Structure 1
Amino acid sequence: MVITIKKSLLTLSVVAGFLGFTGVAASASTYTVKSGDTLAEIAAKHNSSVDTLVKQNKIADKNLIMVGQKLEIGKSAKKTTAKKVNKKHFKTSTSIKKGSAHAAVVTSQSGSDNSTNDATSSATTTPAAFQSQGVIYQDGKKWTYYTGAAFADGTTNHGGYDADGYLIVAAPSNVPFGTHVQTPLGEGVVHDRGTAIVGNHYDLVMP
């Protein structure tokens, strides 16, 4: 009987040990850069951000990645916890056209995104430089700018930003409203459309 008890205790110890490891998450996954990839597109596919990938992989120039380059995606954690992923928080590269007109529908909208990110922290140029050039190409995309007071999804202009503090972007119809995009002036959110905004051409409201 004593031997049986010892074996039982040993079995329980082993089982407890295995159970203790069920909460441990695997380390960051690795992504291999393919031809035509951009850092913004990779971030969008993995629910991450350009800035996160830049810091995690110590990338000197976020506009320059090499085919075959290994990128760490995600972070290791001691415990796996269920996180609610907001699919609106994608960072992609887009483009815009100077002086383009956009039809706007004025409706009320309550913002559900309470992010405290600084939209201008990832800017690659200044509004003055952008206005001087008129068109900027970033990550193989064409960017232009325009002005407006209200936009296709009902968003109103708060000095060039939406109610959550993000730059306002007009995107092609295949890009959903609410999608986060990386613009030359920092992080923006898609709130508008435009007849000229197709393909790789996006439009940014100038602050």
Structure 2
Amino acid sequence: YLAQGGDWGGAITTWLAYDHSKTCNAIHINIFTMRHPKGSQTKEEKDWETKFVKDQIMQDGYRTQQATKPQTLSYGMMDSPVGIAAWIIEKFYFWSDIKNNDIESVYSKDTLLANIMVYIVTKTFNTASWIYYGRREEGGRFLPKDFRRIEVPTAAALFPAEMLAWPPRSYAERMYNIKRWTKMPKGGHFAALEQPDLLVDDIRAFARSLR
């Protein structure tokens, strides 16, 4: 099988390829979430890492709260539909390829409300937050110190408005067996929702190349 992942799926897909290389034939990722245990090596990679850390300062508020005190946050969110809406729509706004501050040029109100209602109706804001706590407790972004390069064929789709900026290809190639590296013309973090055709076309092209 070929596994594909964005957001949390990017990390899960990476671990599938790392732990199950005999059954996972290839992976396609549209986010770079994991880190090499030896970190950046070249000047270009170190420059990327420095900029990445600075850029993430304004993104870390939600992540820190969910990774350290998820239960406290959840009581407030589950008691306030407006609170959940603000918490979630902020991400859609800042992590998408939006022009002229018009979020509805990318997502309809129905799409945004449906996403919010999934959390409200199923009462799962709490469990969705705890995954951040779990990742923090289990080591965060870094792969094991005895990490071995992932050798299954890997494709990377780089969307320009992704909130987790991609590193130079040299960094990615020390972690993955990169066979396809596609710089997308538009799109952001929620690529499957925002630019589904671009994403699916790239996955299909990669799959065809493996036959």
TM-score of the superposed pair, with normalisation by structure 1 = 0.22
> Larger C-alpha radius of gyration, 1 or 2?
1
More helix by share: 2
Larger RCO, structure (CA 8 Å, separation 6 or more)? 2
More strand by share: 1
TM-score of the superposed pair, with normalisation by structure 2 = 0.22
